[in-house]
Amino acid sequence: MTHAAAHGRGFTLIEIAMALIILGLIFGRGLSLLSSQMEQQRIRDTQRVLDEAREALLGYAANQTPPHLPCPDMTVAAATGTANDGLEDVTAATGHCVTQEGNLPWATLAVGGADAWGNRIRYSVNGIFSSRSPAASFSLSSVATLRVCSSASCASVLASGVPAVVLSHGVNGFGAVTSSGVVRADPSSADEIDNTDGNGNFVSRSPTAAGSAMGEFDDIVSWLPTGSLFNRMLQAGTLP
């Protein structure tokens, strides 16, 4: 009886150990699912920030006479303006932007300027669409030159003639400026580099992990179509 009881207790300990292992696996899987859900929520929150930024750009342009989009907030100090303060940086004497690509001027637009990972939204605007007096402002005949492609090679163009692009550098944050003004590490994949090099081309595609054949990519890109801008200006009566 004593031997049987001891044997029973030993078997129970094994069962407990197995149960703990199973619970650990379930708990670990639960944490993984929770982490994935949280990341998806951050992506949705960031997309909402980009949508609000795009709408704010339209509203800003519609309230300017003559109409123009705001200049970016520069990320590096220059003689004109202050870097990373959320205000557009424009050279008043010329009516041109200090830089055509930088932070979204969130303070000027009175919107949220950071994504769900705490990095500033990047903003690029075509020069003719951000110029103001004494420079010429845009009109219905103005042609934008920014492009959004499915890869850095731009073999497939998703949108051409784009006046403005807003984007988040995603969870890895490569190429971004943090809310505190710290410049993050540069991206290494060609498609993410294309979203930081100021060449007027941008990449928007499905995310891929580091080490994939296409290279790491998690940027979230949105753009302002020329038609949307012109329609808003016509509704506001600021364009002929």
* Cα separation, 56 vs 61, whole angstroms: 9
CA quadruple 38, 173, 181, 80: dihedral sign? negative
Q: How does pLDDT run across 168-221, given as a tens digit for each residue? A: 999 999 999 999 989 999 999 999 999 999 999 999 999 999 999 999 999 999
77 pLDDT more than 90: no
pLDDT at 1: 47
Pairing of strands 90-91, 146-149: unpaired
How confident is the model over 92-120, as a mean pLDDT?
Answer: 96
Q: Is the pLDDT of residue 11 over 80?
A: no
- Residues 124-175 have pLDDT tens digits of 999 999 999 999 999 999 999 999 999 999 999 999 999 999 999 999 999 9
Question: Would you list the domain boundaries of the chain?
Answer: 48-236
Give the integer Cα–Cα distance in Å for 73 and 102.
6
Write down the pTM of the prediction: 0.85
